[in-house]
Amino acid sequence: MRFLAGLGVGIFSGYLLGLVIPLQVFMIACLVLLALVILLFFLFHLGIRDFQEY
């Protein structure tokens, strides 16, 4: 339920931002944010795994 609410808010805010800034800029920003999130997730996951070995 929380995921659906977040998705709805994300789509709505994306639509509002799409009215203000060009779509290409928005897509590039989304890709950069997604890459950062994935990178942080992998670093955090590997860091936790390394930490458990000690």
pLDDT in tens, 1-13: 788 888 888 888 8
Contact yes or no for 40/52 (Cβ under 8 A): no
| Residues 30/22, Cβ–Cβ less than 8 Å | no
- pLDDT, tens digit (0-9, with 9 covering 90-100), for 26-48: 788 889 999 999 888 888 877 76
Cβ burial, residue 2 (10 Å; 0-12/13-18/19+) = exposed
Domain-wise residue ranges, the chain: 21-54
Q: What is the pTM of this model?
A: 0.44
Kind and range of the H or E run holding 49: helix 23-53
| Whole-number pLDDT of residue 34 | 92
